[in-house]
Chain A
Amino acid sequence: MKNFSELLATDTFVTVTVTVEPIVFNGDPTAWVIINGRKLYHNRLSFAMSISVEVPVLDPIEIEIGMSDKIYNQHLETALVIRSVCIDNFEIVPNYTHLARYQNERNIDAPTSYLGFNGVWILSTVDPFYRWHHRVTGQGWLLEPNT
């Protein structure tokens, strides 16, 4: 990239990668992964899985990771563990797990990457990723253009 015109002419994307791993002692959970409204997986999950997708750099990012069909058994566990959520090599789990919300049927909303209840884990940047990243990593105040 040698100049500004080349920069403007280049389509730019961010890479979102999600890695999940099931706990299957009481059967395989049904898991789903949706990124920016695109359902990338929705099925029984027996083994760890990684999914990557490219998102235009100016699109806010919303990641949904869900689990359903768990039969609760106090002796045998079924769960879904979020091993990694990475956006352009920026790892969100575990240091920024608190920015996600976990909606589940037990209404337990403590920050977690362990989905032990039927429900959905959602991370939403609201803003384009790099603006969100600037804010959550404490990069300081921004100058705003006068429009």
Chain B
Amino acid sequence: MRITNDGSYKFCRWASAESVDTDENIQSIDPIQWFQKNLSELRQGLLSGQEQPGCSDCRKMESHGKVSGRQRQLLKVGVKLETFTSSMKSSKWLPIFSSSQKDGTTDQYPQDWQIDLGNYCNSACLFCDPYSSSRIASEQKKLGLIQQLPPRAWCDDPLLLDKFLTTLKSSPRLSYLHFIGGETLITPAFKKILSALIAAGLHRQVSIGFTVNLTVWDQSIVDMLSQFKEVNLGMSVECLHPVNDYVRYGGKLQQTVELLKKWIAVGKQHNWLISLRTTPTILSVLHLNTVYQFALDNQISIESCNFLNNPKFMRPTVLPQIYRQAVIDKLQPFTKLTSHNTQLINTRDPNHYQSQLCQDAASYVSYLSTSDDESHRLPELISYLKKTESIRNNSVLDYLPEYEELFRTAGY
């Protein structure tokens, strides 16, 4: 289950934009009631084999051999797509799913949460949006791209935060909490929630997942995290090339690498599951290989986010085919690291980082090789870049001279 920045609920952390948005929100309805009762129609639809709005992103990932959110969540109940019937029949959850057939309700509590904590962020990544970055929000308001700043996060309201914490504490078998912002380390609610979980003794039971933007460090948070049963740390970086500073504006590559190494050291010290998280875009994909190389050299896994949906003009598929080949050529060596025949779904097993790297790279080779050309969106990209550069005083051509002809043709 997911709670978004404004406190509204979604049935899945990966549910795409087409999923039905409701105004069902932590202000108006208890999270447990929403989970147990309000998802009844969705459950009945899933059990009757109907495709659901909001599930399309997972299908797209699977079509390119990229491990989808659906596959990850199924694995957590012991189910794999390639052995679906047998593994589902063997799952301890079968009677629970079966009992939901009648009216779609359940008496279970959510055990696995995606918790969006608002848009506190000191970075202004070009592919981000005002709801996920306060810096982007300010910038876009200055540029006239938005009229109003997003509403404050649900967790900034002490009463709502307390309500949510009560929910967590009363949930039997609470297992996994994944936090995103913004930048979690500078989000006040992150520390408050961690502290409350420790005070309630839930740190012995719960695994924590979170992502950092490699611009800040907070030792007090590291100390709290080290008390938890398990920590899944994602470190966001697009490439180990200066263009990372252009795309992830607010960062400096040297500092990024220093913090990367610091997090890796802490992660290894505490036996955390650590991975590099990337969101490949048209601007960073040319140097995506540098992240795979870093991951290989440091024996850690890489977990690229779902193929970018929005903003559409930032998608790697906006690159014309002729430019994509250079990217594919750079990624190909990583697809040959192992000869893993079966798809690796548990991508967070550190023993299989090479297979996971190989698989992730292969999914991007497939995606770039076969996806439709979206280069008609280039003018929109250039228009956006020119606007942001007017405030940031930088130029994309300083970082990607290889694309000068392409960008000038599109109006740069």
Q: Which A residues lie at the B interface, using CB under 8 A?
A: 1-5, 7-8, 10, 12, 14, 57-58, 88, 128-131, 134, 138-146
Contact = CB atoms under 8 A, between A and B. Distances in A.
A138 B86 contact: no
B69 to A, nearest CB: 15
A145 B96 contact: yes
Nearest to B88: A7
Given A57-B86, A57-B89, A88-B83, A4 B346 contact: no
A88 B85 CA distance: 12
A7 B98 CA distance: 10
B101 A5 contact: yes
B83 A130 contact: yes
B174 to A, nearest CB: 10
Given A144-B173, A146-B109, A146-B172, A12 B86 contact: yes
Interface in B339-364: 345-346, 348-349, 351-352
B40 to A, nearest CB: 14
B85 A131 contact: no
B370 interface: no
Given A134-B78, A143-B175, A7 B89 contact: yes
A138 B386 CA distance: 49
Contacts of A134: 78, 87
B208 to A, nearest CB: 13
Interface string B38-62: 0000000001110000000000000
A94 B253 CA distance: 47
Nearest to B173: A146
Contacts of B173: 143-146
A5 B173 CA distance: 28
A128 B90 contact: yes
A44 B88 CA distance: 41
A141 B85 contact: no
A131 B109 CA distance: 23
Contacts of A14: 86
